[in-house]
Chain A
Amino acid sequence: MTQVILFNLLNGLIVGAFYALMALGLSLILNLSGVINFAHGGFLALGAYLAYSLMPTIGFWGALLLAPILTAFLGLAVERLLIRRLYGRDPLYSLLLTFGLAFIFQDGLRYVWGAQSVPYQIPGWLASPLSMDYFFLTGYRVFMMIVVALAVAGLFLVLGYTRLGMRIRAGTLDLDTVSVLGVNVRVLRNLNFGLGIYLAGLAGVLAAGMLGLSPTIGDQLIMPSFVAIIVGGLGSLPGTLVGGLLIGVAAGMTTVFFPTATEAVIYVMMALVLIVKPSGLFGDEGRLR
């Protein structure tokens, strides 16, 4: 029994880490630009497929490094060419745009890489268990946790200690004032979008090694990521991080005791949070921008 609990706890933590990585990117974009990016899952899938295609030439490590960066560049272009035009308009417009983009992504991926899942290889030594008693504790799982932790730490360092990060945080509450201080807010929003997409791409590269890779890989992650944001509290990135881990673990533990409720539990959690503390665990006002 301990084994089963530990197994699902670890699973939950890892899945939660993916939710968190996705949700942090979604939050960055939502907070600074007021855009709910439904195409986030598409970017995640693209990151994974790019890694898949790059691996034969530059290997797993090269792909891990390069695929998220390439994905981020595509994010910069999408923001620059499409999303930027809708800032300041009714949020419905950007919602429709990103919703449409999500479909375009999925069909584009199908077109290029096929609808079936593809074999996604991780280095053999990473795939083997670290211990006989805890067979599920593979090197890859530990490795994923480390990479996610590094990415999250890196994100918080950038936001906390660089001018770029300070401007992003300032702009989250008052972009006009950031602009009158001479900061090019178009570039700021563009970079911020790219940063969010980088996290999605990275999540994709990692997740494909665990969940397998098909064009719909983003689908199973995006709704829980929105839930993570709401549970953690709109506008709070630490909240988003905690929210992601929390619902991941909750879903993992539910698998042990009520397997049939696994899918539902995160929505139940969301409902509970909304009833008890509508602004989310860390949010102070539930404000959108």
Chain B
Amino acid sequence: MTTLKVEGLNTFYGKSHILHDVGLEVREGEIVALLGRNGAGKTTTLRSIVGLTPARSGSVHIFDTATTDFPSYRIAALGVGYVPEGRRVFPNLTVEENLLVPLERPGPWTLKRVYELFPRLAERKSNKGQQLSGGEQEMLAIGRALLLNPKLLLLDEPSQGLAPLIVRSVFEVVASMRAEGISVLLVEQNVRAAVEIADRVYVLDNGRVVHEGAAAAFAADEERVRELAGAKADAFDEFD
């Protein structure tokens, strides 16, 4: 069974052609990193997979179901959790209410377990989403996606704007998804942290896949990592 298979995806925003024949695959139990510079098309790829910006051509298969033309809620209902860029926490709802929004798919994740994973959320459960710090919002967005009891989790730049210490704990949580039997597609600008937990990587540039391969080999190619990580490389040394 394929967990996620994307083939020949072409996505447009109005007239601008953003994704060009993008193809990628996530196999069961894998953590796959999707890397690329600002504007490379990473977010658009995820949005096409979850049906928010449907592709004009190409196909998406999730758990062997052709989901290309599904509305977002049907894709999610198959067991696809999505942590969007910028978290998209509901600002007018409390933390706990945010966690009660997702569809109740049966599975191991309950409110209680999410609070155990993120004790900080339990402390703040009556606070409004808009009162949370960036790190707390990230936890909430991940916890909210987990409550759908996904088998595939898509994360869009979970480390964005977070302090290094919090980035570390977020990545630990993402890495722990493997043990939960959740496959992960991780979009990141934080190249070094991403390749450290990923099995395989894809690199997007200008809406095209320009590299795919094992994460270990990619990590060893210092020149490539530095090129992609750019100015972020130095900032990230703190993580090592």
Residues of A within 8 A of B (CB): 163, 166-167, 169-170, 172-174, 176-186
Residues from chain A with a CB closer than 8 A to the CB of B100 are 163, 166
Q: A166-B97, A169-B93 are in contact. Are A180 and B52 (CB under 8 A)?
A: yes
Of B12-20, B101-109, B209-217, the one contacting chain A is B101-109
B101 touches A178 (CB 8 A): yes
A183 touches B88 (CB 8 A): no
Residues from chain B with a CB closer than 8 A to the CB of A170 are 90, 92-93, 97-98, 101
Residues from chain B with a CB closer than 8 A to the CB of A176 are 52, 72
CB distance from A89 to the nearest CB of B (A): 15
Smallest Cβ-Cβ distance to A182: which chain B residue: B103
Distance in angstroms between the alpha carbons of A184 and B50 in the assembled complex? 14
Residues from chain A with a CB closer than 8 A to the CB of B148 are 181-182
Q: A169-B92, A170-B90, A177-B88 are in contact. Are A183 and B71 (CB under 8 A)?
A: no
**Chain B interface helix/strand/loop/mixed:** loop
**Chain A interface helix/strand/loop/mixed:** helix
A173 touches B52 (CB 8 A): no
Residues from chain A with a CB closer than 8 A to the CB of B88 are 174, 177
Q: A163-B101, A166-B101, A167-B101 are in contact. Are A179 and B90 (CB under 8 A)?
A: no
Distance in angstroms between the alpha carbons of A123 and B75 in the assembled complex? 53
A184 touches B73 (CB 8 A): yes
Cβ of B91 < 8 Å from any Cβ of A? yes
A173 touches B84 (CB 8 A): no
Q: A170-B90, A173-B91, A174-B90 are in contact. Are A180 and B97 (CB under 8 A)?
A: no
Residues from chain A with a CB closer than 8 A to the CB of B51 are 180
Residues from chain B with a CB closer than 8 A to the CB of A173 are 90-92
Distance in angstroms between the alpha carbons of A267 and B117 in the assembled complex? 54
A179 touches B76 (CB 8 A): yes
Residues from chain A with a CB closer than 8 A to the CB of B90 are 169-170, 173-174, 177
Q: Kindly identify, within residues 142 to 160 of chain B, every residue whose CB is under 8 Å from any CB belonging to chain A.
A: 144-145, 148
B102 touches A181 (CB 8 A): yes
Distance in angstroms between the alpha carbons of A176 and B75 in the assembled complex? 13
Q: A178-B101, A179-B71, A181-B102 are in contact. Are A166 and B76 (CB under 8 A)?
A: no
CB distance from A180 to the nearest CB of B (A): 5
Contact of A180 among B73, B92, B93 (CB under 8 A): B73
Cβ of B77 < 8 Å from any Cβ of A? yes
Residues from chain B with a CB closer than 8 A to the CB of A183 are 73, 101-103
Cβ of B218 < 8 Å from any Cβ of A? no
Residues from chain A with a CB closer than 8 A to the CB of B98 are 170
Number of A-B pairs, beta carbon distance below 8 Å:
69
Interface pairs (26), CB distance under 8 Å: A166-B93, A166-B97, A167-B101, A169-B90, A169-B93, A169-B97, A170-B92, A173-B90, A173-B92, A176-B72, A179-B52, A180-B52, A180-B72, A180-B73, A180-B75, A180-B84, A181-B102, A181-B144, A181-B148, A182-B73, A182-B76, A182-B77, A182-B105, A184-B77, A185-B71, A185-B73
A180 touches B101 (CB 8 A): no
A180 touches B91 (CB 8 A): no
Distance in angstroms between the alpha carbons of A184 and B75 in the assembled complex? 11
Distance in angstroms between the alpha carbons of A109 and B84 in the assembled complex? 48
B92 touches A177 (CB 8 A): no
Residues from chain B with a CB closer than 8 A to the CB of A182 are 73, 76-77, 102-103, 105, 148
CB distance from A19 to the nearest CB of B (A): 24
Distance in angstroms between the alpha carbons of A179 and B51 in the assembled complex? 10
Distance in angstroms between the alpha carbons of A170 and B98 in the assembled complex? 8
Distance in angstroms between the alpha carbons of A224 and B22 in the assembled complex? 53
Smallest Cβ-Cβ distance to A166: which chain B residue: B97
Q: Which of A166, A170, A179, A180 has the most CB of B within 10 A?
A: A180
CB distance from B55 to the nearest CB of A (A): 16
Q: Kindly identify, within residues 64 to 78 of chain B, every residue whose CB is under 8 Å from any CB belonging to chain A.
A: 71-73, 75-77
Smallest Cβ-Cβ distance to B105: which chain A residue: A182
Distance in angstroms between the alpha carbons of A172 and B93 in the assembled complex? 11
Distance in angstroms between the alpha carbons of A179 and B50 in the assembled complex? 10
Distance in angstroms between the alpha carbons of A184 and B102 in the assembled complex? 10
CB distance from A164 to the nearest CB of B (A): 10
Distance in angstroms between the alpha carbons of A181 and B72 in the assembled complex? 8
Distance in angstroms between the alpha carbons of A169 and B128 in the assembled complex? 13
Q: A169-B90, A170-B93 are in contact. Are A179 and B73 (CB under 8 A)?
A: yes
CB distance from A103 to the nearest CB of B (A): 33
Distance in angstroms between the alpha carbons of A170 and B93 in the assembled complex? 7
Q: What per-residue 1/0 map shows which CB atoms of B78-122 lie under 8 Å from chain A? A: 000010100010111100011011110100000000000000000
**7 tightest Cβ-Cβ pairs between the two chains A and B:** A182-B103, A182-B76, A181-B102, A179-B72, A170-B90, A177-B88, A180-B82
Distance in angstroms between the alpha carbons of A99 and B103 in the assembled complex? 35
